[in-house]
Amino acid sequence: MITHPSGRAGNRPSRPTPMNRESPMRSTNGIGLRPLAHRDYSYGIMDSRAASADEATRSTKAPGFVLKSQYHAALATLRETVEQCPEDLWFSKEYENSFWQLAYHTLFFAHLYIQPNEAAFQPWEHHQADVQYPDGIPGRPKPGSKLPLIPEPYTKEQVLAYWRFCDDLVDEAVDSIDLMSPDSGFHWYKVSKFEHQIINIRHIQHGAAQLADRLRSKLDIGINWVGADHRKVSKTRP
């Protein structure tokens, strides 16, 4: 049975989210960007001015257009954290959850929750399903189970391939769901479909923020801000 990150469904135990068990060191601004006192917010203005009148019109009238834009932007942020991670940090066991675990977990639930419902979910071709926690973040061992707790580690190349798979399916997936439905499509989430999509985007950004913080605190690597047009990236100084 697939369960959401907090483990409230089925017999998956409640467990702290990775953010609550994060790095022994914390960066000054929380997500690996420049401290607020030194941030240049002109990029937000430039993004807005760069948007065409047609895009602005569509964004105010079509929720699906906005969701696609923000899915791609959040995923682009996540992709950069994966690309910037060196091999030793990728597999490091210094943290309770390794970099690869958080990256895969974030993509797995992004992929799952952009579907109309659980039945519509088709796992990625290289997904390791025969484990107790296939998303990569373990809870307590399940009584009587002889399955491994989590998958074998995924490489950066595998996670980037999964990232491309998820990013490629966004537009078609958003078009296929009923955003006006009062039901999320997942019985453990008692929210509307539209709100559930917002939650899903927030979860992608949450995972990306944890990984960005790890890169900043360990290696002083900064992650770029991605605007509403996910093809336009504003550089931040590391």
| pTM of this structure | 0.75
Of 24-28, 135-139, 178-182, 228-232, which range is least confident? 24-28
SS3 238: coil
CATH class for domain 58-234?
Answer: mainly alpha
Among all chains, which residue has been given the structure tokens 């926690």? 133
Task: Kindly report the three-state secondary structure assignment for every residue of 12-55.
Answer: CCCCCCHHHHCCCCCCCCCCCCCCHHHCCCHHHHHHHHHCCHHH
Instruction: Give buried/exposed letters for 135-144 (b at 16+ CB in 10 A, else e).
Output: bbbbbeeeee
- Tens-place pLDDT, residues 128-173: 999 999 999 999 999 999 999 999 999 999 999 999 999 999 999 9
- Tens-place pLDDT, residues 101-125: 999 999 999 999 999 999 999 999 9
Among all chains, which residue has been given the structure tokens 């917010």? 41
Q: Where are the domains of the chain?
A: 58-234
SS3 120: helix
